[in-house]
Amino acid sequence: TKRFLSASLTRNRDAREVTGVERPLRLRFPLAMAARDPARRNPSLLSLLFSLLCLASLLLVLSSLRPSDPAVAPPRDRRASGEGRRPCNYSDGIWSWDPDPPLLRYDGTCKEIFKGWNCIPGGRSGARDLIRWRWKPSGCDFPPLDPARFLHRHRNTNIGFVGDSLNRNMFVSLVCTLRRAASGEVRKSRPAGADRGFTFLDYNLTVAYHRTNLLVRYSRWSASATGGVLESLGYKQGYRVDVDVPEHTWAEAPKFHDILVFNTGHWWWAPSKFDPVKSPMLFFEEGTPLLPVLSPEYGLDMALKHMVCLHNFLFHGDMFFPSCTG
């Protein structure tokens, strides 16, 4: 069964800065598992709601990573106040209809939204109803994002979104939300090879997006005239996917960012791109074809394993895999 992956990988940077001791990498997954339904691969209201949940959950977690600015008092955390509450699983809950939704944090006039993805001005059916749905976790509260507090808590921080269009949408949503609350200039930037990014100068906060479909490097592959192991199995063309090599679009991101948010998944099951017969994915490790030839499901598992291990050594910030697109 193909899976929705939900994981959180973090290093406690603040603890290391205070004590000089680095805590071990913590890998927690899955928070949520679901069967992949081929009938739901096209964009739908459900997928949009899922994207909203991913963004809201991520922002809530990010808001807790940094100590509060002295001028901004942190909210009371009941779980930390000795009331005996267990940590909340924000992926466990229901969508609840809110007939009186809060004011929009931003609207369709935010110029960072891609024209084709600007649902309300574009007249998408049911788009206005999206803001009336709220995610209610079981057994805990889910407070709305306070952009002013977020800006103060993340001073002197670099946040990178790495992935496909889901992460691009979350990047744009965060930038549009913060713009409304930010003071001072917001300057465009492309740090560490990012596709796009913005720096909020008064806070020295940079938010950037690194585009990558598979996270790992891939390119066209054609059979060699001199033959080889894949050629001997009848393969004539396809895509070479190096499961142990990050794509160049984000390879430098760990050196720049303090927080990295990853996603992948949709492209691994995209027959219009990687046709399983005409242009299959052919997986390589250490430059050698993996045999027997793997299915995309197992190729994805290997790619994630290598990327997690790689950044366990190279990256010393907070790393998240909030979801797998599908």
The residue extents of the domains of the chain are: 11-34+42-71+91-324
The mean pLDDT value of the chain amounts to 77
Report the sign of the C-alpha dihedral through residues 311, 317, 322, 326, in that order: negative
Residue 177, helix vs strand vs coil = helix
Whether 257 has a pLDDT exceeding 80, the answer reads: yes
Beta strands 281-285 and 288-289 are antiparallel
Can you read off the two tokens belonging to residue 311? Answer: 């950044």
Q: Are 308 and 315 in contact (CB under 8 A)?
A: no
Alpha carbon separation from 261 to 43, 123, 253, 320 (Å, rounded): 22, 30, 11, 5
CA–CA separation, 158 vs 258, rounded Å?
5
Q: How many CB atoms lie within 10 A of CB 28?
A: 11
CA R_g for the chain = 21
Whether 4 has a pLDDT exceeding 80, the answer reads: no
Q: Which of 58-67, 120-129, 192-201, 261-270 has the highest mean pLDDT?
A: 192-201
Is 324 exposed, middle or buried, given 0-12, 13-18 or 19+ CB atoms closer than 10 A?
buried
Q: What is the mean pLDDT of residues 134-154?
A: 89
End-to-end CA distance of the chain: give it in Å, rounded: 13
Alpha carbon separation from 79 to 75, 82, 146, 314 (Å, rounded): 12, 7, 20, 32
pLDDT tens figures, 5-48:
334 333 333 333 333 333 333 333 333 333 344 443 444 455 55
pLDDT tens figures, 200-224:
999 999 999 999 999 999 999 999 9
Q: Are 135 and 88 in contact (CB under 8 A)?
A: no
Beta strands 186-189 and 196-200 are antiparallel
